[in-house]
Amino acid sequence: MNRQTTGTGIGTGTGDGADGVSGADGVGADDATHVFSAAAVDFAAWREGDRSALDRLVAILTPVLWQVVRAYRLDRPTAEDVVQATWMALVRKGHRIEEPQAVVRWLTVTARREAWRSARRRPREEPTEDDVLDRFRATAEEPETAALREGRDRALWTAFRQLSVRCQRLLRVVASAERPDYTRLAAELGMARGSIGPTRARCLARLRTMLGGMADWRTA
């Protein structure tokens, strides 16, 4: 997927419209290129026998894999298990990856497969996600900005949770993939490939309509 050679593109925003707000963990979409490059370097070093490179790889990519896995509506403990299983699989089978640049793709595909398997094994339609709302207060910022952002994110989270299960899964899966593979997504979501784009647009339109009715979203 990503053929960037290492050392390029660091810090150059790819402009995904995230409003200039990048994740505190440094793996916002804008940093995707940097993550890909760093991961390829560490993976190559680990295969050459540098054990600490694996620890760096885990630190860089675990936040990415977490988002990939949470897209499958797994509860947090199950999601933790799936991420651990994904890393375990890399350590066992990583030698089959031909090019270091392919490691991120290999990991995300493996994480999706594990998550999908896990989600089917325990068909819990409504995992408890209240704990997520509880943590909304946890970000440390200037109180005023924080309160506005908190209200806005609460509105977004609440509106999102009112979408159909199908819309929720589709949007989170699509958003979690840096470069979505639509053929694979179609198979996972049980949809025709050609209907992903239109469905995505419809789901976003519905989300926007719901957000329009929420004061916290409009005033922020």
- Give the residue, chosen from 6, 9, 29, 151, that forms a contact with other proteins under the rule CB under 8 A: 29
Give the C-alpha separation, 202 to 199, whole Å: 5
Closest to other proteins by CB, 41 or 85: 85
Give the C-alpha separation, 81 to 97, whole Å: 23
Residue 50 binds other proteins, judged by CB under 8 A: no
Residue 184 binds other proteins, judged by CB under 8 A: no
- The string over 113-132, giving b where at least 16 C-beta atoms fall within 10 Å of a residue's C-beta and e elsewhere, is ebbbebbeeeeeeebeeeee
Q: Which residue has the tokens 């890393």?
A: 87
Residue 158 binds other proteins, judged by CB under 8 A: no
Are 199 and 191 in contact, with CB atoms under 8 Å apart?
yes
- Give the residue, chosen from 38, 40, 83, 103, that forms a contact with other proteins under the rule CB under 8 A: 83
- Give the residue, chosen from 136, 147, 151, 214, that forms a contact with other proteins under the rule CB under 8 A: 136
What is the per-residue DSSP string for 87-150? HHHHHHHGGG--SGGGHHHHHHHHHHHHHHHHHHHS--SS---HHHHHGGGG--S-HHHHHHHH
Residue 81 binds other proteins, judged by CB under 8 A: yes
Length of the chain: 220
Residue 201 binds other proteins, judged by CB under 8 A: yes
Closest to other proteins by CB, 44 or 89: 89
* Residues found near other proteins in the complex (CB under 8 A): 16-19, 21-25, 27-29, 54-55, 58-59, 62-63, 66-67, 70, 76-77, 80-81, 83-85, 87-88, 91-92, 118, 132, 135-136, 139, 153, 156-157, 160, 171-172, 174-176, 196-198, 200-202, 204-205, 207-208
